[in-house]
Amino acid sequence: MTDHSAPDTGEKRPALIPATPAGIARAAELLRAGRLVAFPTETVYGLGADATDDRAVAAIFAAKGRPQFNPLIVHVPDLAAAHSWGLFDDRAHDLATQFWPGPLTMVVPRPANSALSLLVSAGLDSIAIRVPNHPVAQAILRAAGKPIAAPSANRSGAVSPTTPHHVLESLGDRVDAIVTGGKCMVGLESTVIDLTGPEAVLLRPGAVLPDEMERLIGPVRLSAGDPMAPKSPGQLESHYAPNAAVRLNASSAEEDEAFLTFGPDRFVFGGTTRLNLSLEGDLNEAAANLFSHLRSLDQSGARRIAVMPIPEVGLGMAINDRLRRAAAPRS
């Protein structure tokens, strides 16, 4: 078995595995053997490892360069499997019934004597868990027969991957295999809600909106968050960041800036490269394009990416959350 204590810096490339029955079986075999396998979900590509294997989970942190106080999301095929790894109250059951499989992660109490690696929870007595809504992810989870920890398959803090090429570009030989399942449908990481206390708290906005959850379980408070002690992924102050600096709420771009726009083009552009998240002003289309457009603009050679305002409504909340973190000061 490969030693996962440090990334391999040799010239090997990860195996590219097609999303066929034979490929799914191979990916599951690698996961059971403690290897790292990137695979598609409806949100972004995840960097998967057996969540019960300490060395495999540690390999995720090493491959991503991820702080070990930042928890991971555990992926399972259905609610029945989730019951083995988390404690679900009535609120969690109602949300799971409505939104699973789908882009919703719930942080719930972790059972005593859980077989999950403590690294998955970053030492907390809770677990972040979800059921993905993607046929390839579902097939891999069922074939592996294990809970799979799977943060986004990119270097920590960088732009999240929505295609196999993005994974290869970001992680290279730090991952053992990539299951090639095309472009992700949603394109933004899952909504994360904390249900460990009497008050439901939104930790990370996503495609499942607060008002949708409130109709089922009552008030959901927006978290101020503690970037030094996150309860879920995506809470670090600087996150989802390209190499170029990001300037928000821009009405135009300077000569050495790339420009990320939204809605009909009604302005003069003087920068280096321009991409539009959605000419029609469709927030769903904008979310699906966000990370791939940021990557493309980052590769244009611009010193900074100027970003037009995005409406702070519906899915725009999640888009703006990612953009604010991309623009945050870097350590």
Domain spans, the chain: 15-222, 245-327
Report the 10 Å Cβ neighbour count for 281: 14
Q: Which residue in the block uniquely carries the two structure tokens 């206390």?
A: 197
Highest mean pLDDT among 38-47, 227-236, 246-255: 38-47
In DSSP terms, 149 is beta-bridged to 49, 74
Q: List residues bridging with 75 in a β-sheet.
A: 130, 148
Distance of CA 170 to the CA centre of its chain: 14
- Tokens for 10, please give them: 């040799």
Higher pLDDT, 217 or 224: 217
Contact 164, 183 (CB under 8 A): no
Q: Where are the alpha helices (DSSP H) in the chain?
A: 21-32, 54-64, 79-82, 90-99, 135-144, 164-171, 210-217, 283-298, 316-327
3 state DSSP class of 45: strand
pLDDT of residue 270: 62
pTM given for the model: 0.80
**For the residues 33-54, what does the mean pLDDT come to?**
97
- Peptide bond just before 101 cis, omega within 30 deg: yes
pLDDT at 126 over 80: yes
What residue type is assigned to position 186 of the chain?
V
Tell me the CATH architecture of domain 15-222. Answer: Alpha-Beta Complex (3.90)
b/e for 312-328, b at 16 or more Cβ within 10 A?
A: eebbbbbbbbbbebbbb
Same fold, 15-222 and 245-327: no
For 158, 186, 231, the CA distances from 322, given in Å and listed in that order, are 11, 14, 17
Token look-up 């499997």 returns 81
Arithmetic mean of pLDDT, 256-279: 83
Other CB atoms within 10 Å distance of the CB of residue 200: 22
Give percent of the chain above pLDDT 70: 88
User: Would you state the structure tokens that stand for residue 59, as one six-digit string?
Assistant: 């390999």
| Fold category of 245-327 in CATH | Rossmann fold (3.40.50)
